[in-house]
Amino acid sequence: MSEVNLRPYQTDAVERILSALERGSVAFQSPTGSGKTLVALEVMRRLGASSAFTRTLSQYEPWEREARRLGLMIGGLAGKDRFCLRPVMKGDGKSIRITRCFSCPLAFNSYDRSRVQELGVVGFLSSLRDKDECGYGWLRFLDADVYLYTYPYFFFYRKMVRGNALLVFDEAHNLVNVGDMVGVEITADRLRAIRRDYEGTDAHETVSSALDAVESWALHGAASGRRPPDAEEFGLEAVEDHRISSVFHALSKVGHPAYRVYARPDGVSIRLIDPAEELSKLNEEKWLMMSGTLPSEGYMRRVWGLQDFQVVDVRPYRMKFSYFWDRDLSTRLAERKSARSGYVRAVSKLKGKGLTLVLTPSYEVASWFKGIADYVESRESASSDVPREGLVVAVARGKLSEGVEFVEDGRSLIKRVVIVGIPYPNVGDPYVRDEVEFLSKKLGSRSRWFLLREDALLTIRQAMGRAIRNQEDSAEVYFLDRRAGPFLRRLGLNPKRVRLVDL
């Protein structure tokens, strides 16, 4: 082990987590910049070979950096479809591109594992790809102390995951969106694109026949109640493609009460309406979920179906927020039209030095600020287009509120967070409506507001968390809705003591 001196609160967190793991699993909450990754890795080092799951491949890097500091060997996978070279082989007078690892000559190459330690999983595979080599098959069976995977490996390729002493879920608040992770839209265009990728390959006939059956069901059979095709009918086990796996995973759930099928003009959408159907599988594992903004313990138990876990909450520094509340405004549907000018006037006054992040409940409300904002999120927004200063308007649960970092040299660029209205989920959306109605019946009729408020509170906390990336950061938070009182209380504030403003 390399010499790493944990801070006292980190050492305490490690001991608390290890103690809790003796009795079950752990939900670990601590703010950004507090060293959650280092704490988790020290826990993993003590327990033996373990796995960490991240939302994106780019999030491997901090895990690899901290693992090196602890002297831990790195392993894992990064998505075969991204790195498969599909080498051309000749046989029977034909040239065929190989996609299945067991028949690919490159799968039997071996490499110096120190290169993985030096470059990390993605860097190692990318360096080989640049030289027309492939280390995916070799990396798949490499022994390591810490294995890195993205979330889909847990949901679709669980048998491939190594390091089972502990499963660690980084940024675990993203599991609120588990329905998006396991749900799919099956359209003719999407299936056509996958078919194109397998033309001239050894899996062409297998994939084409499978997707033909899927397309026939999606366009015609679903409406008539026909049974969807089964992956086992086509021998797809060796075709490791997330697009195909997610489709057949969803098809296997058709008719299950936790899933719904929605008709589209060009196919169908299959969506999960009960998160516990997928997340309760973790009750069979030893897990550690970590985030700066986890859902409440009650939500994790009741909605996610998790059992036998303890919450370890570590707060090494005070979050430097100043709170303000304008109680003259509301985005309630009955008041929305008349409130628009008041909101535009209020938000325009909050543009100042640095970046002001405005969180809105919908794209419609976001559009109100096109005349005064430096950037307004739309459904077509790209993260590369977002400025790093000025007035930036984001939509709750959109790309900007969760997927774009506003950081420079480890410090947040956000100086003000403005919560316009209350970001309740859109119950006008058929999928959201079905999810809320299903869970309300499952958990009890009085749970409807619990579900809506928990979702809105998590969205608010995530937006606020973007403004504090270390203990030196500070920000002002403005609540622009008279209904904010319960949310202020859930943030540990006394609404009567929050500074009132009239913008």
Residues 109 and 194 in one domain: no
Q: Is residue 33 part of a domain?
A: yes
Could you please report the per-residue DSSP string of 167-200?
Answer: EEETTGGGGGGHHHHH-EEEEHHHHHHHHHHTTT
Residue 451 has which token pair? 């579900």
Q: Is the pLDDT of residue 4 over 90?
A: no
Q: For residue 386, what pLDDT band results from cuts at 50, 70 and 90?
A: confident
pLDDT at 403: 61
97 within a domain of the structure (yes/no): no
Q: What is the pLDDT of residues 116-143, one digit of tens each?
A: 999 999 999 999 999 999 999 999 999 9
pTM of the model: 0.93
Average pLDDT over residues 280-290: 97
User: Do residues 173 and 462 make contact, with C-beta atoms less than 8 angstroms apart?
Assistant: yes
Total domains in the chain come to 3
Q: What is the mean pLDDT of the chain?
A: 93
Confidence check: pLDDT of 489 > 70: yes
Q: How confident is the model at residue 3 (pLDDT cuts 50, 70, 90)?
A: low
Q: Reply yes or no on whether the pLDDT at 19 is more than 60.
A: yes
Q: How far apart are CA 408 and CA 411, in angstroms?
A: 5
Cα angle: 150, vertex 153, 154; to 5 degrees: 105
Identify whether residues 354 and 410 lie together within a single domain.
Answer: yes
Range of the domain at 243: 180-272
Work out the pLDDT band at 383, boundaries 50, 70, 90. Answer: confident
Residue 325 and residue 400 in one domain: yes
Give the pLDDT score at 2. Answer: 56
Residue 118 and residue 43 in one domain: yes
Least confident piece of the model among 98-107, 219-228, 450-459: 98-107
Percent of the chain with pLDDT over 70: 98
Residues 304 and 417 in one domain: no
| Co-location of 453 and 401 in the same domain | yes
Q: Do 60 and 164 sit in the same domain of this protein?
A: yes
